[in-house]
Chains A and B, each alone.
Chain A
């Protein structure tokens, strides 16, 4: 059972918004006393996901939440875009696959950096990616 304790929504439509988003994620992670290594992993994950959202989904918004499960506190990030969607999610989750000209590490790499990862996508409607990083996870 994951409870949401606070919620912050940030619109992302241009590249400079990503700097602001990363700062807010850092603030939130610091507030729940997340260690530096986990903070770095979380912000790197956010950086990958927000780039995907801008590049492939024409922007969208991100919810930053402080969540709690039992005695564990963590940060949940939900990235929502109304882009073209992903037709084949298992393929997109493979290392080295990219429809752009990138390394294809964004999604599979992000999954390795966080504790919980969930992706939902409908072609023509958009994509939602949810990640959770526990403070001591």
Chain B
């Protein structure tokens, strides 16, 4: 069965959707991603949809679900690279994707994730501080 790969990058998970999704593939991605967040303790999820030419109500709902599920597991979700035509279609369809953070491209999305996570400064910096002391 087809699967969309989820890459780990530090405390973030990176998903690049390179194919047009059909329903089952999207559902598999949803459950894989939520499990990965749980397993890796990731603080952020970045979903790149720049290669996706169609987002219909079902796909939109899955994206919203991923964001809310990750939120409950203490991870932020940012969707990046949406094509203009897809944005126009989503709004006309009546799906404003509330509660999903977006950014124009992967770089800006990563920056956004970092600022969102830096808002609560804790573990990362502590680890660095404690590291040399232990030696």
Given A16-B22, A109-B57, are A40 and B94 neighbors across the interface (CB < 8 Å)? no
| Known contacts A105-B94, A109-B93, A113-B93; A47 and B56 CB within 8 A of each other | yes
State the Cβ distance, A41 to closest chain B Cβ, in Å. Answer: 5
User: Which chain A residues lie closer than 8 Å to B20 at the CB level?
Assistant: 19, 22
1/0 contact string of B4-24 vs chain A (CB within 8 Å) = 000000000000000010111
Q: How large is the interface on A (under 10, 10 to 19, 20 to 34, 35 or more residues)?
A: 20 to 34
The smallest C-beta distance from B90 to any residue of chain A, in angstroms, reads 8
CA distance A55 to B125 in the complex (A): 50
Query: How many residues of chain B get a CB closer than 8 Å to chain A's CBs?
Result: 22
**Contacts A15-B24, A19-B22, A113-B93; is A37 near B88 (CB within 8 Å)?**
yes
State whether B95 touches A40 (Cβ < 8 A).
no
Could you say which residues of chain B place their CB within 8 Å of the CB of A102? 57-58, 61
B92 at the interface (CB under 8 A from A): yes
Candidates A16, A22, A105; contact of B93 at CB < 8 Å: A105
Tell me the residues in window 18-71 of chain B with beta carbons closer than 8 Å to chain A beta carbons.
20, 22-24, 53-58, 60-61
Residues of chain B within 8 A of A43, CB atoms compared:
53-54
Residue interface bits A2-45, CB-to-B below 8 A is 1, else 0: 00000000000001101100100000000000001101110110
Chain A residues proximal to chain B, CB less than 8 Å: 15-16, 18-19, 22, 36-37, 39-41, 43-44, 47-48, 51, 95, 102-103, 105-106, 108-110, 112-113
